[in-house]
Structure 1
Amino acid sequence: MSSTEVMECVSDYVLPGLAEIEAAAKLVYQHMPPTPQYSWPLINQRAGAEVWVKHENHTPVGAFKVRGGIVYMDWLRRERPAVKTVVSATRGNHGQSMAYAGVRQGIRVVIVVPHGNSREKNRAMRALGAELIEHGEDFQAASDHAVALAAEHGWHRVPSYDPRLVTGVATYALEMFRACPPLETVYVPIGMGSGVCGTIAVRNALGLRTKVVGVVSSLAPAYALSVAAGRVVEHAVTTAIADGVACSKPDVRALAAIQAGADRIVEVNDAEVEAAMRAYFADTHNVAEGAGAIGLAALLKDGGAGGSRVGTILCGGNVDSDVFAGVLGRAVKE
């Protein structure tokens, strides 16, 4: 897709407005309370700035994705009542979201994960009621298989990026921007793009001047490359720790919204992500998965470029015990 075609998507694809997001928030709060946002003194000292952390690791599934799942499944129940089975692909948090919300609507949820996926995320999805299928060596292979299953069985395919998912997850940004003092910059992880697009939507809807900085792994750089090129650029994923942002093929609608609304993209490597995971645990005693810590990693790498009052999203805490133990065990004097 060319840069012209991407920019055409900007005009075709409209991010949700304030009324839509507030309506989504009312629906979300039927299932969970707002999550907290704290400014931790030790994080502030480490960053040399006033840092506000949005704790999406405190949702019922330990990640922000559940907000989008609640909104999507409610829409499906109302608008597609004939749907009995849905299928989607995930590395974990999206699948937990689908299971949490879908089962509550009486919908069968089938989730495709790649071989070698997080054991504990797999267990959590099954505990929430999902049926798991392992296929392929990475997320893209799992996603392609989900598409094939939907076509073969007539199941409803839940995408990894959808306007309804964006509207749902935007509710965390609404909470954050309304609860925090004015933020100069907010650092938001980019997986498939719903979180950063939801943040941009709320920033725009509230008329704020806050800069939104998207964060990717340097070992999963597809969105960074795509923003730089002005078109969708696919790239292999090799990150060993940030599986929640392991995107190899960006969504063109998300790319268009990011190009229009994000200030810039910051890339961080696995060592920087692991250091941020240790920082969260040492300074706040919160567990962050790799994708959950990637925003803090970028904030720290930025060295004050974001300003004196900044925010970031701890978007998930679902990391396998042995993986987290290894991260802590690799601690050096930081």
Structure 2
Amino acid sequence: MTQSVDITGPAREAAQLVRKLFEPTPCARNDHLSQKYDADIWLKREDLTPVRSYKIRGAVNAMSRARAQDPKLDLFVCASAGNHAQGVAFACRHFGVKGVIFMPVTTPKQKIEKTKIFGGDNIEVRMVGDYFDDTLASAKTFCDDASGYFLAPFDDVDVIAGQASVAVEFMDQMTDAPDVVILPVGGGGLSAGVVQYLAKVSPSTEIYFVEPSGGPSLAAAVTAGKPVTLTSVDSFVDGAAVAQIGAIPFSALKQVEQRQLLTAPENRICATMIEMLNIEGIVLEPAGALAIDALQDLKEVIRGRRVLCVASGGNFDFERLPEVKERAQKYLELKKYFILRMPQRPGALRDFLDLLGDTDDVARFEYLKKSARNFGSVLIGIETDHPKNFERLFHKMDQAGLVYKDITNDQALSEFVL
């Protein structure tokens, strides 16, 4: 299926190396998901590393290897707005070396502060560029001028070997080898490491790869036969929304078949995040929920089989929770927005409210235009507890002769007015 490279030795060495920092992350059967999908589903909880993502593994392994080759090396540089920055910061403090971490000026304050906490006095954070490409260019220029070591987030063989330690652990932790493994894909470091390791220790295991719909860089590369740059990327799934998959990871993934490639819609990912939070108490970031979200696309494939999902990260800023909840409600069709031509007469609003059901709730009401003499344009948001309630509501609105437009899934219009 994929290029056969014996990564077992480096991966096991990396697993032993990270043991100096933290115990193996939990890997256990999840009863809720197993019952829901009629399968034996296990979760590898990379959201429970010290930096709440698997990125610490690659950073620690690559830094250790680089220092073994050059013991005088004491300056590491990276560019990241998220988990990689935190992993590098933690590794710098662990090894007692200096790190300079470049982050876009648009990086949320929470991520900046966590990076500083993990690195302490060993790191310096530099805020450069509105866009990541500018940040990356500045980081590489500085690294060259300062004769530092640039620690790439995924396009590095030692980083990939470090990420492969995830597979070393779950293969040791599971009672039997998994029939199916589901992996989230961003730059490809985790996928490349796990694929190469399993090719040697469990070649019969089927592997599926999940990318966000707004950034399917692996799928694009497989189609083109080489890494290509996506023309646009939806940054919502910031831990996996990568414009181009790494060249080194792709060398291990280039023989992946189209049937193994899955894309997860961003709004559906939000529904999965809310489900795992409400039912299991598990906090996942959007990228961390990718593998679990894909279970619904594979329900016929996985029925009755042993499945391992990598929950890759839990660095979630709860200030984003209202947005995640909103997007989840839209996907589940429990919330809709529409523009209504409201008659400009006394009692018109009451007449509309009388059309609502017992579980329908007005979440937003805003006049967009009230200058018309007979009618005004109103933006209305409605929440309910079952999708069929909207069928009933729209039927009543049609019978009442109301003119309206559902803009819930009209991206251009909803972005302008919501």
User: What is the TM-score normalised by the length of structure 1?
Assistant: 0.89
Structure 1 115/236 Cα, relative in aligned 2: closer, same or farther at 3 Å?
Answer: farther
Match of 1:268 among 264, 271, 280: 264
Q: 1:244 to 1:16 in 2, by over 3 A?
A: farther
Per-residue deviation at 1:321? 1.4
Point out the more displaced range, 302-311 or 78-87.
302-311
Question: What is the aligned partner in structure 1 of residue 198 from structure 2?
Answer: 203
CA–CA distance in 2 between the matches of 1:149 and 1:47? 50
The correspondence for 1:281, drawn from 277, 282, 287, is: 277
State the distance in 1 between where 2:201 and 2:272 align. 30
Check conservation: 1:242, 1:291, Cα contact below 8 A: yes
Q: 1:152 aligns with which of 145, 153, 164?
A: 145
Given the alignment, which residue of 65, 71, 74 partners 1:81? 71
In structure 1, how many angstroms separate the alpha carbons of the residues matched to 2:232 and 2:238?
9
Greater per-residue strand proportion: 2
Distance 1:136 1:304, change over 3 A: farther
SS at match of 1:63: coil
Secondary structure of 1:243 counterpart: coil
Partner of 2:227: 232
Q: Distance in 1 between matches of 2:18 and 2:256?
A: 25
- Name which structure has the greater RCO, CA cutoff 8 Å, separation 6+: 1
| Counterparts of 1:16 and 1:144, CA distance in 2 | 33
TM superposition score normalised by structure 2: 0.72
Question: Which of residues 31, 34, 37 in structure 2 aligns to 1:41?
Answer: 31
Distance 1:143 1:185 in 2: 36
Percent of aligned pairs with the same amino acid: 25
Q: Which residue of 1 aligns with 2:19?
A: 29
CA deviation map 1:224-266 (0-9, x unaligned): 1111111111014532431001211221121121123576211
Alignment partner of 1:276: what SS? helix
Aligned to 2:234, the other structure's residue is in SS state: coil
SS at 1:97 equivalent:
helix
Distance in structure 1 (CA, Å) of the matches to 2:246 and 2:35:
37
Cα deviation 1:7-34 (Å, max 9, x = unaligned) = xxx87xx745222222221111111100
Task: Give, in whole Å, the separation in 2 of the partners of 1:35 and 1:92.
Answer: 20
Worse-matched range after superposition: 60-69 or 113-122: 113-122
1:99 paired with 2:89, answer yes
Partner of 1:321: 318
Q: Rate the CA distance shift 1:301–1:275 in 2: closer, same or farther, 3 A.
A: farther
Give 1:119 deviation, angstroms: 2.5
Distance 1:138 1:45, change over 3 A: farther
Gaps of 5+ in 2: 330-384, 387-418
* Matching residue's letter, 1:292: G
Cα distance change, pair 141–217 in 1 and its aligned pair in 2 (3 A):
farther
Aligned residues: 323
Structure 1 residue 304 corresponds to structure 2 residue 300? yes
Shift in alpha-carbon separation, 1:46–1:140, aligned structure 2, 3 A: farther
RMSD: 2.1
Structure 1 counterpart of 2:20, one-letter code: Q
Shift of 1:325: 4.3
Corresponding letter in the other structure for 2:166: Y
Larger fraction in helix: 1
- Alpha-carbon distance, 1:318 to partner: 0.1
Residue 158 of structure 1 deviates from its aligned partner by: 1.1
Q: Which amino acid counterpart does residue 316 of structure 1 have in structure 2?
A: G
C-alpha change, 1:234 and 1:331, in structure 2 (3 Å) is closer
Equivalent residue for 1:6?
A: none
Farther off after superposition, 106-115 or 27-36: 106-115
Distance in 2, Cα, partners of 1:226 & 1:183: 27
Shift of 1:326: 3.2
1:212 aligns with 2:202: no
Counterpart for residue 58 of structure 1: 48
The alpha-carbon deviation at position 121 of structure 1 amounts to 1.8
Report the Cα offset of residue 171 of structure 1. 1.0
Distance 2:21 2:43 in 1: 22
The yes-or-no answer on 1:250 pairing with 2:254 is: no
